[in-house]
Structure 1
């Protein structure tokens, strides 16, 4: 599967590159096909970069004994049905709270807002969080943390749920791409302490996108 994904990466990027600068100016009949192709290419690029980070000893959460034989993470096939537009309802009056972690300590978070979206014909809501300390660091001023769990947990995916990284939008809408869902680092290495997904962010559906569970 990993070989197939990498081969698809190069093929998709090659085809996009062949279109040159005209890809956003073609006739209307071609626009939809190219937009979808670009989305798939972005997902494959994300998967490739995540695998490269896991191979890098300076970035990887993997212990040396796993990293030396690491070939790649197991992903669901890219699926644009799991890219959704959500309405962001901000919660400026929310008070900080302590989010539990796998290591026993607490992470101080604030509910930045509630994301409301439709997936597979059903309506869902997820809380999205902002860390009080992290938001003071350069490059993380607009960072939002979206942990979630779903009905794949314990079977296809890690039992504790997965994470998504988002950025504060200028408007009232935000894109959620579940193809970018990744596992907490504590899945790969016990030295990491990871936030536990709050029960309110449990989705009563299967999210068949993103990183699958890690088999050592």
Structure 2
């Protein structure tokens, strides 16, 4: 985990008329395209890119699932009480300290889910990342259409009891592109028994 997105502003859709609904969908698509363009710009930049030198030389753009607003959901956020810090398992021997910050409850494709949200103790010591939260998850596209080790979504501490989850902003950890990186492994309790066909696909080199 290295990438940290900019603060995602709350998305509001006003259902006043068919014309406004269509405009809102256009704005939403534009928002996700900006996210994708930022990722592609990062990956194309030799100073930021996690790609191996030979992959960077051939890089054009990441592969994304089609933008689908049904994967943007409003979740109930429940803050964890007295959560003990723990050592997060990673793809290497590194064990960074994390804390279960809370849980989110939401409905997606007619099914109810609960996922854990985490906070990095290292990052919260830095002023610019003090409100940063982290969702790691796996789903049934892993290993086929998406990276086998799961994907991540960056979040911010919500002001209240609601939090927006947008799986169109799910991205791969850096170790999906280069084994030199150490990446957190999604806990088993964050495995979703469905296909999340949104966000970044696995890297094809």
How does the TM-score come out when normalised to structure 2?
Answer: 0.91
Choose from 154, 174, 180 the match for 2:169: 180
Map of 1:211 onto structure 2: 200
How does the TM-score come out when normalised to structure 1?
Answer: 0.86
Give the structure with higher Rg (CA).
1
Flag structure 2 segments of 5+ consecutive residues without an equivalent: 1-12
Flag structure 1 segments of 5+ consecutive residues without an equivalent: 1-23
Choose from 57, 61, 69 the match for 1:72: 61
Distance in 1 between residues matched to 2:17 and 2:197, nearest whole Å: 31
Choose from 160, 179, 183 the match for 1:190: 179
Choose from 159, 163, 168 the match for 2:157: 168
Q: Does 1:128 align with 2:117?
A: yes
Aligned residues: 193
Query: How much has 1:92 moved relative to structure 2?
Result: 2.8
Query: How much has 1:193 moved relative to structure 2?
Result: 0.2
Say which structure is richer in helix.
Answer: 1
Choose from 138, 141, 144 the match for 1:155: 144
- Larger relative contact order (Cα-Cα within 8 Å, sequence gap ≥ 6): 2
User: How well do the aligned residues superpose, as a CA RMSD in angstroms?
Assistant: 1.6
Q: Does 1:99 align with 2:88?
A: yes
Structure 1 segments of 4+ aligned residues over 6 angstroms from their partners: none
